[in-house]
Amino acid sequence: MVWWSKTWAKGGLILAIIMLAGCKVSGTTSGSYYEYGDNYYSHGHFLDARDTGHYFPAASWSLNKASQACVGETLYFETANARVRVYGSPAYSDTAFRAAATELDNRIGGVLNKFRMSWQDFIVDRTAAAPYPGHLIACLSPSVTSAELSSASLAAVAVAAYPGSWPYDAGRIFTHDLAHYVQENLGRYDSDHSLLPLWFAEGQATVVANEPVASAYQHYDYSPLQDVYAHSAGSAIYRYEHYGLAYRYLERANGSLAMTLLLDLVQFMDWKNYHPGTISSGEERAFVEAFDAMDLVDHRGHYLSFARFRADYHQLVGASY
Ligand SMILES: [Zn+2]
């Protein structure tokens, strides 16, 4: 089967890069920051798409409602390393552009590290249908509240436009939403919707952002795998801790690289249009087929199909501590 060679070639590449990186201390390009008041902001430039031709992406399949606010905006701030571009209305302050760019630029490396990837790996592995594959695009959006702070789509991260009212835990929220941004770009090709079940996407973002995860002995309090879609999910706020528990069970048994390769394989299924549609319990067939093809295991090292994980979730988690 063709996709195995592609997937494992990619996995081999990622592993090789991790081993090389282990030889030296890697760090951010700290020389590119300068002090601005009490904060450090990334160096960069204000540019205009009418000069550069780099217009904000307009394809609606790749944007959520919040990030569509920047369609037609031409002003943007680009970090000196050219990695991050923040678009928005010229009515917003320079500081808003710089602060958003700095937060995203400072955090994306750490988030990708949780996916066992470097920025270069990400550029290569993310969907080729992404509008600017070599860049992280953001939008200062009036429809993101300061409390929710940001929301990610495949093509752009939408950010609340008034940094003075960002919440005290802004760093955690940016990290969580950057995890969604990475998922969106790894876990589908050009599907107009996410192919991941809600519990997996939120559980992974919860774990990447170091947010609270339910203890394994509390597993009977909630059945996270029932929550396939946001619109049919329960309303208990603590359900995120159980999404995290379900995801972490898989990650602990299989490693975080296997989770990245699972996303890669879902993207491949979407690219080839293998296994379109959903199974009877609502999950995307591409996700279920990829899950089963990854040869994932339970905490005892026994093969774990998606059907068994879903049916025996409480039994498996209950026996794992
Ligand atoms: Zn989330």
Q: What number of CA atoms fall less than 13 Å from residue 257's CA on the CB side?
A: 15
Cα 34 to averaged position of ligand 1 atoms, centre (Å): 31
> What percent of the chain is predicted at pLDDT more than 90?
82
Cα 152 to averaged position of ligand 1 atoms, centre (Å): 9
- Structural domains of the chain in order of their starting residue, each with its CATH number: 36-186 (3.40.30), 198-318 (no CATH)
DSSP-derived pairing of the beta strands 84-87 and 136-141: parallel
Cα 202 to averaged position of ligand 1 atoms, centre (Å): 5
Cα 266 to averaged position of ligand 1 atoms, centre (Å): 19
Q: Are 160 and 146 in contact (CB under 8 A)?
A: yes
CB atoms within 10 A of CB 273: 11
Q: What's the Rg (C-alpha) of the chain?
A: 20
Exposed, middle or buried, 302 (CB in 10 Å: 0-12/13-18/19+)? exposed
Which pLDDT belongs to residue 40?
73
Cα 209 to averaged position of ligand 1 atoms, centre (Å): 10
- pLDDT single digits (tens) 167-189: 989 999 999 999 999 999 999 99
Q: Which of 9-13, 50-54, 101-105, 130-134 has the lowest mean pLDDT?
A: 9-13
Distance CA 18, CA 172 (A): 25
Distance CA 162, CA 222 (A): 36
Query: What type of residue sits at position 296?
Result: L
Cα 212 to averaged position of ligand 1 atoms, centre (Å): 13
- Alpha helix stretches (DSSP H) within 234-281: 239-254, 256-272
Rounded mean pLDDT, 8-35 = 35
Which pLDDT belongs to residue 245?
98
Distance CA 163, CA 98 (A): 10
- Tokens for 107? 């955090």
- pLDDT single digits (tens) 27-50: 333 332 333 444 578 899 999 999
Which pLDDT belongs to residue 172?
95
Residue 193 has pLDDT above 70, yes or no: yes
- pLDDT single digits (tens) 199-250: 999 999 999 999 999 999 999 999 999 999 988 898 888 999 999 999 999 9
Which pLDDT belongs to residue 39?
58
DSSP secondary-structure letter at 191?
-
Which pLDDT belongs to residue 293?
98
Which pLDDT belongs to residue 147?
87
Calculate the average pLDDT of the chain: 89
Which 3 state secondary structure label does DSSP give 9?
helix
- How many residues can be counted in the chain? 321
Cα 176 to averaged position of ligand 1 atoms, centre (Å): 6
Reference 317, options 205, 225, 202; nearest CA is 225
Q: Are 141 and 69 in contact (CB under 8 A)?
A: yes
Cα 287 to averaged position of ligand 1 atoms, centre (Å): 18
Q: Which phi and psi angles does 44 have, rounded to 5°?
A: 170, -170
